[in-house]
Structure 1
């Protein structure tokens, strides 16, 4: 074995390509966007998807998750992805993540007090009010494609009453 063959040959300084940090970021983002747009499973995601969004889309494709449509007061529909064994609490957390990510993408710095939102409102699916956080969505009759709305809570004499027509507008 010849010694010259095993030693890497250095390229002259003029042939080395150097990129700035911003140029590398731009190249990486462009490459990722091209890869995502070519993949049939995740091409419907935004141009800057998070790892959670990609994992949720893959879980949907493999039948491990369901999509719950959450309808806001302004008729905006939020497609929320949760796993099959999810609870009401998991659904609430997924709504929180979806709204936070949506606001961040719009450049909106609005802070939402989710403690207040859940204190004043509940979720409702058909005639079932989802008030127990530990209840499984399957037990509440929520399946893939189910529609869920916000309902306002009214307090009267230490008990909770619910309005059928009022919904939250955040």
Structure 2
């Protein structure tokens, strides 16, 4: 794997440190100490989408879960251990809408709200909670993707989520080449 495809967990506090795998593009989540802003890192390469993930994308499009006009060209896999979470955020506009997340191994919850409160490590309060059963697909677009923050509180057991997104054509990594396997549309 290329250097930035896999990110090892940094367990600096409870609720932090999930393993991430990024395919298609490398995404920076927060402003770094080096001044790099959040968004697609255009100078960084990660591995291309593996065949299994391409098959998942084909199915999501053929089942009309995602539109043919927004076929994902990137994804992030989050591997959570018990107690890991995703803090409140709005997915960056470097990615088009809609995007979707598929849940595996265990059930979880996702919270939504304009103002999500951090109660403690991995503990959040929001105006709306939605169950994410094992095997479910959550599609985000409109206000749910652009206005409301969302977060996943500390999980109770090991969980994997795969989020599929399409990069804004204006924000593609410099070395990006369209994947010929997605010419099925």
TM over 0.5: no
Q: Name which structure has the greater RCO, CA cutoff 8 Å, separation 6+.
A: 2
**Which structure dedicates a bigger proportion of its chain to strand?**
2
Q: Which has the larger radius of gyration?
A: 1
TM-score (norm. length: structure 2): 0.25
TM-score (norm. length: structure 1): 0.27
